[in-house]
């Protein structure tokens, strides 16, 4: 007979009698007992289920237990002595902040006022990052041809195929019915109507699904034009401007900051769309400056350094500001370690390389500094090998993973020398010299050929246009610019070199746009 509902620690006394039809017996001898609390049994049904950076440990309830403890370790054979204790937990217990790919081992104990149970059976689980689709492709561009456009993009880690979506209306997405599956970069979209704007996005795909869309790009196919010609039919800037930052994003040329004809440096930002031949005004930059460095990374314009208030004698800045044309907003990045102006820039593998320039004026020195910005970590590195020779206002371009730096000024010397930086080997090599020594020129790459336009030397503004073939390491002189200029904005749209504004031979800041067809 089990007498339940008693108070632990209290003594209870008992006698027993026997009963039949004749009556009840006399009492037995008296006995007594004081109930005590028992240590609970070890939990059963223990399990561990993994997720990203966490494991969930569960178990069955234990009779008489008032709480539970979980012990864990990254080594098997965990015990109450060797494990890390998580006291007074409830089932299911979620163990967070773990390292994906590491196995965690667990035991569970039950506890009450009498003590702690033996260990449960050991279980384990290995948190794993969730399977996700690849990232959207970067470096997407569209180059126009005759009745065709060529779409290019950078390879994406983990991608097994790519899709190209297109439309003749802006705002194309994956919902577009026009899809080229399993496309490879560069992808030629043929059979198009010359003069019509085509818009594109690219996605990456693997077994886990399809990425979000890349930035949208566009191109206008056109019949072949006479080569090696200049055109002045592009719309001029609304206001003359020089010494600005520039970059092409999704088929649109952006011009930011720089010097107007009078007054201090501007914060104005304008965008030129070749499809409409119209300039539009965008959100102003946070900081006015002239002669900054600029580069385009993942659809954003990075503007760094420059002269304060258009006068380099007032001071230089190291501020990094980033323009997002989709949101039409500016944000700030980590400032450059060395405040300077008049630098060459290039983008390799999503990082911004900034070379040369001047840290102060006077003495308007020619610096050898090379610093590298990584947007993924919002940090700068100064470990890259410096320029072999100091250069003020050189030109910069990237071809086949090498950062080329053209000309510039070193003291009283105008340079025609060219050097190339290999980020893998971390060294500089000397290349074939330019036919014309110069600084502050427009430098752009079209189909693997570097075009160097205009600039300045001791004789004043230059109109020379010269083309460099990195594979042949040789130069070719091209048709001169209609107007000799320096400190221009520039960019490549539909396979053509656009040169914007700048300062002419008379020292006048201009608004004209001249376009070169290779």
Query: Given this model, what pLDDT does residue 130 score?
Result: 84
Provide the CA 157 distance to its chain's centre, in angstroms. 14
In percent, how much of the chain has pLDDT > 70? Answer: 99
Confidence band for 262, pLDDT divided at 50, 70 and 90: confident
Q: How far apart are CA 367 and CA 515, in angstroms?
A: 32
**395 close to 403: Cβ distance less than 8 angstroms:** no
Q: Which two tokens stand for residue 147?
A: 């009745």
Residue 411: pLDDT above 80? yes
Query: Given this model, what pLDDT does residue 226 score?
Result: 73
Query: pLDDT tens digit string along 81-122?
Result: 999 999 999 999 999 999 999 999 999 999 998 899 999 999
pTM for the whole structure: 0.66
Helix (H) or strand (E) holding 56: strand 54-58
Query: pLDDT tens digit string along 484-515?
Result: 999 999 999 989 999 999 999 999 999 999 99
Query: pLDDT tens digit string along 459-476?
Result: 899 999 999 999 999 999
Query: Given this model, what pLDDT does residue 225 score?
Result: 66
**Angle, alpha carbons 408-409-410 (nearest 5°):** 130
Query: pLDDT tens digit string along 131-167?
Result: 889 999 998 988 888 899 999 999 898 899 999 999 9
Q: How far apart are CA 40 and CA 67, in angstroms?
A: 10
Closest CA to 184 of 144, 143, 148, 137: 137
Confidence band for 481, pLDDT divided at 50, 70 and 90: very high
Query: pLDDT tens digit string along 305-324?
Result: 999 876 787 789 999 999 99
The secondary structure of residue 364, as a DSSP letter, is: T
Q: How far apart are CA 230 and CA 155, in angstroms?
A: 34
Name residue 166's beta-bridge partners: 200
Is the peptide bond preceding residue 54 cis, with omega within 30 degrees of 0?
Answer: no
- Mean pLDDT on 402-417: 95
Query: Given this model, what pLDDT does residue 222 score?
Result: 82
Which of left, alpha, beta for 77 (phi over 0: left; psi -120 to 50: alpha)? left
Residue 479: pLDDT above 90? yes
Query: Given this model, what pLDDT does residue 131 score?
Result: 83
Based on the number of CB atoms within 10 Å of its own CB, is 283 exposed (0-12), middle (13-18) or buried (19 or more)?
middle
The secondary structure of residue 365, as a DSSP letter, is: -
Query: Given this model, what pLDDT does residue 310 score?
Result: 66
């Amino acid at each position: 007979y089990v007498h339940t509902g008693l108070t632990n620690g209290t003594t209870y006394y008992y006698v027993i009698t026997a009963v039949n039809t004749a009556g009840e017996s006399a009492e037995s001898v008296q006995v007594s007992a004081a109930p005590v609390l028992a240590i609970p049994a070890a939990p059963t049904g223990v399990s561990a289920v993994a997720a990203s950076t966490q494991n969930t440990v569960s178990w069955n309830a234990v009779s008489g237990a008032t709480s539970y403890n979980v012990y864990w370790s990254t080594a098997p054979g965990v015990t109450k002595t060797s494990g890390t204790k998580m006291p007074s937990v409830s089932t299911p217990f979620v163990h967070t902040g773990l390292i994906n790919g590491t196995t965690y081992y667990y035991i569970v104990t039950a506890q009450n006022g009498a003590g702690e149970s033996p260990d449960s059976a050991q279980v384990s689980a290995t948190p794993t990052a969730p399977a996700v689709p690849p990232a959207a492709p970067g470096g997407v561009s569209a180059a126009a041809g005759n009745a065709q456009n060529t779409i290019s993009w950078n390879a994406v880690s983990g991608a097994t195929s790519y899709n190209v979506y297109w439309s003749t209306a802006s705002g194309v997405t994956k919902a577009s019915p026009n899809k080229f599956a399993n496309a490879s970069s560069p992808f030629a979209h043929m059979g198009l109507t010359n003069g019509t704007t085509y818009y594109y996005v690219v996605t990456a795909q693997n077994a886990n699904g399809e990425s979000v869309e890349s930035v949208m790009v566009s191109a206008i196919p056109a019949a072949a034009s006479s080569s090696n010609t200049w055109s002045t039919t592009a719309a001029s800037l609304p206001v003359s401007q020089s010494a600005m930052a520039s970059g092409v994003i999704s088929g649109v040329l952006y011009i930011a900051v720089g010097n107007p004809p009078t007054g201090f440096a501007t914060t104005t930002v304008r965008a030129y769309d070749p499809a409409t031949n119209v300039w539009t005004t965008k959100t102003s930059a946070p900081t006015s400056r002239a002669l900054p460095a600029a580069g385009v990374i993942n659809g954003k314009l990075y503007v760094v350094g420059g002269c304060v208030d258009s006068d380099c004698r007032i001071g230089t800045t190291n501020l990094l500001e980033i323009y997002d044309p989709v949101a039409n907003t500016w944000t700030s990045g980590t400032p450059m370690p060395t405040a300077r102006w008049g630098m060459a820039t290039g983008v390799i593998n999503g990082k911004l390389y900034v070379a040369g320039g001047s840290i102060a004026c006077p003495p308007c020195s020619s610096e050898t500094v090379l610093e590298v910005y990584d947007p993924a970590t919002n940090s700068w590195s100064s470990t890259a090998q410096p320029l072999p020779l100091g250069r003020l206002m050189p030109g910069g371009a990237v071809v086949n993973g090498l950062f080329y730096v053209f000309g510039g000024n070193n003291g009283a010397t105008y340079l025609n020398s060219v050097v190339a930086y290999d980020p893998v080997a971390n060294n500089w090599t000397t290349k074939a010299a330019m036919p014309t020594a110069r600084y502050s020129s427009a430098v752009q790459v079209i189909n693997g050929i570097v075009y160097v336009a205009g600039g300045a030397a001791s004789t004043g503004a230059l109109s020379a246009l010269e083309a460099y073939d990195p594979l042949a390491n040789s130069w070719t002189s091209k048709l001169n610019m209609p107007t000799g200029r320096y400190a221009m904005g520039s960019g490549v749209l539909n396979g053509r070199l656009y040169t914007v504004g700048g300062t002419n031979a008379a020292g006048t800041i201009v608004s004209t746009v001249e376009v070169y067809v290779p």
